[in-house]
């Protein structure tokens, strides 16, 4: 009889645990919509970054937007000025963002984004150089009415390589 109770309890715990794990990994309808919108928004953002398209930045960034860098906080205006300005001797050739995770956060959604950037520049010695940068950011998106906007972005990590692409298999693959 004790064995029966033990195995019954064991089976119950196993079933309950399986149910809870399955429930944790099933995105709700809101998360599915948020992921779709955030990925589409990031695809549009990547094209705008390569084109230095200030009008798209204006539309996508909320009035309270800011970027949290490791060393300082950057305002919406400072960030837009920075990414809208074409640098002499430098050309951004790739900005390819991929949404990794999407989680509810208060009245919006936080998304962890992998960004693959490539640029070409001419050094002061006249040498052509390729630059490859990998960023991981955590971005807060929110829907107000029918409009989705980015409210903040925090740099989680980044790494840069020059002349040769990074030794990562994900580098050569295109975005979603």
Domain boundaries, the chain: 28-172
Residue 63: φ, ψ to 5°: -55, -30
User: Tokens 């980044």 sit at which residue?
Assistant: 158
Give the count of beta carbons closer than 10 Å to the beta carbon of residue 2: 6
Report the pLDDT value the prediction gives residue 55, as an integer from 0 to 100: 97
The model carries a pTM of: 0.79
Report the pLDDT value the prediction gives residue 95, as an integer from 0 to 100: 96
What are the counts of helices (DSSP H) followed by strands (DSSP E) for the chain?
A: 5, 6
Lowest-confidence pick of 27-31, 74-78, 90-94:
27-31
**pLDDT exceeds 90 at position 103:** yes
**pLDDT exceeds 70 at position 19:** no
Residue 162: φ, ψ to 5°: -120, 145
**pLDDT exceeds 70 at position 90:** yes
Class of domain 28-172 (CATH, top level): alpha beta
């Amino acid at each position: 009889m004790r064995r029966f109770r033990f195995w019954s309890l064991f089976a119950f715990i196993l079933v309950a645990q399986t149910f809870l794990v399955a429930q944790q990994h099933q995105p709700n309808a809101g998360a599915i919509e948020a992921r779709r919108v955030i990925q589409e928004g990031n695809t549009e953002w990547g094209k705008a970054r390569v084109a230095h398209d200030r009008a798209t930045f204006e539309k996508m960034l909320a009035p309270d937007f800011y970027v949290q860098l490791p060393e300082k906080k950057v305002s919406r205006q400072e960030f837009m000025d920075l990414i809208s300005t074409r640098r002499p001797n430098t050309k951004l050739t790739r900005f390819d963002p991929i949404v990794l995770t999407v989680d509810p956060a208060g009245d919006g959604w936080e998304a962890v984004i992998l960004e693959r950037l490539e640029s070409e520049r001419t050094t002061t010695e006249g040498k052509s150089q390729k630059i490859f940068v990998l960023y991981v950011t955590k971005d807060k998106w929110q829907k107000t009415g029918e409009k989705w906007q980015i409210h903040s972005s925090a740099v989680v990590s980044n790494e840069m390589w020059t002349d040769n692409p990074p030794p990562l298999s994900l580098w050569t693959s295109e975005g979603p």
